[in-house]
Structure 1
Amino acid sequence: MPSDQEIVDIAQDLLSDRFGDPQHLSEIEPLSGSGSAVVLRAKSAPSPFFQYRSVVLKFIPETGDPLDDVALLREIAAYQFTNALSEEIRPGPVLLAHDVDRRIIVLSDSGDGDTFAHLLERENQEERVQILRNLGASLGRMHAGTADKQDAFYTLISRILRKHPDAANLHTEREQLFARAIETGLKTLEHAGLATPELVREFSVQAEHRLTGGGSRAFTPFDLSPDNIIVADRTQFLDYEWANFHDVSFDLACVIAGFPQYLSTHPISDDEAAAFVEAWVAEVGETWPNAKNEDLLHARILAALVGWASASVAMMQYGTLGAAGEHASGDDVLPTGVDALLRPADVGPFEVDELLARRDLYETFEALARFTRASKDPKDEVVAVWATDVAERVRTPRIT
């Protein structure tokens, strides 16, 4: 692992080569990064050849996991793709330089705006509704602005993978693992005595199919997280390690569910979710007229919500997406104790990490139950009952 100064030295060399003028970076400040990544902010010296006054350096260390290598390549291709977009629809920072072998990327600085995680801590209901409305509009602009550009993105992915053939067969692996995690989650719930209704299984199959197909597809980081959304002059989405073109209903479901894998002090309410979806529809209505069909949109989001909730069970239980996807086969026997996280609340004690995981699952399934009950189709009530049963199973006292 290189030191912070060594990372800065590499970045200076890359910027000097890229912009044809010696670059000097100073006032180094560590930032929080995703996973094991080292993220630094640095000030750049005034230069007629370089317009950015500060930059962000991201170093992704080797982990021995081939999927992490693919994530680096995909992130570079994603930034190359977004660089070519007009500024009004560009969803995040600008890629200024990169080096795959030295595992570093240099980005423009998104500034000192609030993270969405910080904004969600607010208690004022009117402010929160406006925050969610703004997020819906920002997501909608990204989706509508990239909906017809899938071929350009895949061209960039193919180009970079040709230089790294060992990773070529893995670049769609995450989508496949997520689909398998949905199956593993349902199996884990059943193992814990929470049977899967047939309608839930139908929705889960729809979710699996839409991970790699579906008609309403656009560019997205996919695993949206409030601490990777910066709100300053405009909203910017960070971390493109698994960016791709996906069915946009997964982004909507991710927000409505309260961001699975993320605990919030104040989960997203029904009014906030409604404002979020309304603002999103206003941006994408011309691109996808079917988005204005409330019943159709509700069904698509519901399928994605079932997918997120089920996959979350597997990821919380197994720890990683790769491990979660290993037990998807219907004939695969789950290991002993796999449902320990889902044991009834009176079968304690629970470790702190178990309590946190259960709280996250509670928020996800409770949001799924509330969203389902807004359906105009009476048969969807069986999904709401199932989600409520799961939520009640993992409901435990909050950690104070």
Structure 2
Amino acid sequence: MTVIADERITSVLEAAEGVLAKRAGTAVRLDGPEDLGGTGRSTVIRARVLDNPVSLDRTVVVKAFDQQTPASQVLREIASYRYATALPTRSRPGPQLLASELEARILVLTDLGHGRPMVELLGSNDADEVERGVSAWGQALGRMHAATLGGEEDFRTLMHISGKDRGGTASRIFASDGGIVDEAAASVDAYEQILERIDVELPAGARETLENSLRLFDEGDFRAFSPADVGPENILINGDGVQFMDYEWGEFRDAALDVAYALATFPARLAVDVVPERLELEKSLADAWRGEVKPLWPSISDRGLAERIFHARALWVWLSTYWLIRGDSSGHDWALHTTDARVVLSRWADLADSGDSYDVGGEFIDAADRMQEALRIYWFG
């Protein structure tokens, strides 16, 4: 990382110092900013703590949003971090929130350190190493889901409190705010247009499968907290294990959506030599997750769970296809988003293979095969 110094960074540091000072009741000084990237609408930096009146770590991470970011999105991330920080240490999905201010659009978080990005681990040629990594990923998801099952009202309360922190204007904080739910719904609404554009017919029940999967955002037997984008690009592995980052769209939803999201996004990151092990790696991730949540979710059979994950995965693959066909190359920093047609084709092929392997999916396996072939012709002739 590079130490940086410009007007924007100076402003972010000063704002972070002010937020930390309010928490500590005394001045806090930050210096030595390092650019950790961001989403285009946010600035993320690591900074050294020069004065340490409240036993802060030697470094902190500061995330600041620009003025174009909807306040509801900043509010959601603050509430999500507050909620996750209150979880038992073993079940915390990522960094802890040290301080925040909605009006300033800024959060100060604990520093996870440099660690190892999940993307790097998945690119290893050592299949055993990759298997350990995806198993740890599944376990971390399961611990988070198990710890937050039944906690939706607590999260809603935090959303209200965080909204009131900005002067009592907490209305519509549960309303749709342009996140992944809206995008997924829009993709299903465009079902007929997409099929017409790529010139393909799908089995009669294909759209119903996608519509049923949409309900997992609002319904489902196992509603648990999710940071939303739990793909490999948002995962760091450090001494405490797998850490999830970026809670901008944190929400409660059926946990099967998170497992399906992981399964849909990680194969594209595998090294060529490890790709033949993909189905076994998928099983390792799903089994590790199931091992953490099954004591709390005994009512669902293994087959029923596999079916639910398959259908949720179909929705994610459909959404990534919608984005690419629409020509949307900006505005999405989700791990699911790609501008590479080959990745989308592979996702359809992987979906069909997974359905065959677990004997689930029904006629949507045929739909996946048809989509893959139609998209190949559409993009490559």
Q: Does 1:361 align with 2:370?
A: no
Q: For structure 1, which segment, 32-41 or 310-319, has the greater mean C-alpha deviation from structure 2 after superposition?
A: 310-319
Tell me the equivalent position of 2:197.
191
Whole-angstrom CA distance in 1 between matches of 2:131 and 2:32: 37
Larger deviation: 191-200 or 132-141?
191-200
2: CA distance, partners of 1:241 / 1:356: 22
Change (3 A) 1:232 1:395: farther
1:281 Cα deviation after fit:
0.8
State the shift of 1:112 in Å: 0.9
Is the counterpart of residue 227 in structure 1 residue 210 in structure 2? no
Once structures 1 and 2 are overlaid, which stretch shifts more, 70-79 or 309-318?
Answer: 309-318
In the alignment, what sits opposite 1:373? Answer: 356
- Cα RMSD of the aligned pairs, angstroms, is 2.8
The one-letter amino acid paired with 1:360 is V
The alpha carbon displacement at 1:101 in A equals 1.7
Structure 2: gaps of 5 or more residues:
1-5
1:137 aligns with 2:139: yes
The 3-state SS of whatever aligns with 2:41 is coil
Do the aligned partners of residues 362 and 271 (structure 1) sit closer, same or farther apart at CA in structure 2, a change above 3 Å counting? same
Aligned to 2:367: 386
1:231/1:111 CA distance change after superposition, 3 Å: same
Aligned pair in 2 of structure 1 residues 187, 306: CA closer, same or farther (>3 Å)?
farther
**What CA deviation, in whole Å up to 9, does each residue of 1:19-51 have, x standing for no partner?**
123211122100022342111001112535223
Correspondence list, 1:217-366, <5 A: 217-233=223-239, 234-259=241-266, 269-291=278-300, 293-318=301-326, 356-366=339-349
Change (3 A) 1:315 1:161: farther
Give aligned pairs, total. 361
8 Å CA contact 2:72–2:177 kept in 1: the answer is no
Secondary structure of 1:118 counterpart: helix
Contact kept? 2:30, 2:47, Cα under 8 Å: yes
Alignment map for 1:115-134 (pairs within 5 Å): 115-134=117-136
> In structure 2, what residue type is equivalent to 1:159?
I
What is the TM-score when the length of structure 2 is the normalising length? Answer: 0.86
Residue equivalent to 1:351: none
> Residues 249 and 360 of structure 1: is their aligned pair in 2 closer, same or farther, counting only changes over 3 Å?
same
TM-score where L is the length of structure 1: 0.83
For 1:112, what is the secondary structure of its paired residue?
coil
Q: Which amino acid aligns with 1:184?
A: A
Q: What is the 5 A alignment of 1:45-124?
A: 45=50, 47-63=52-68, 68-124=70-126
Give me the whole-angstrom Cα distance separating, in 2, the residues matched to 1:186 and 1:130: 41
Q: Which moved more, 1:363-372 or 1:183-192?
A: 183-192
Q: Which ranges of structure 1 fall in alignment gaps of 5 or more residues?
A: 325-353
Tell me which residue corresponds to 1:24: 29
Alignment of 1:164-179 (within 5 A): 164-165=169-170, 167-168=172-173, 170-171=175-176, 174=179, 175-179=181-185
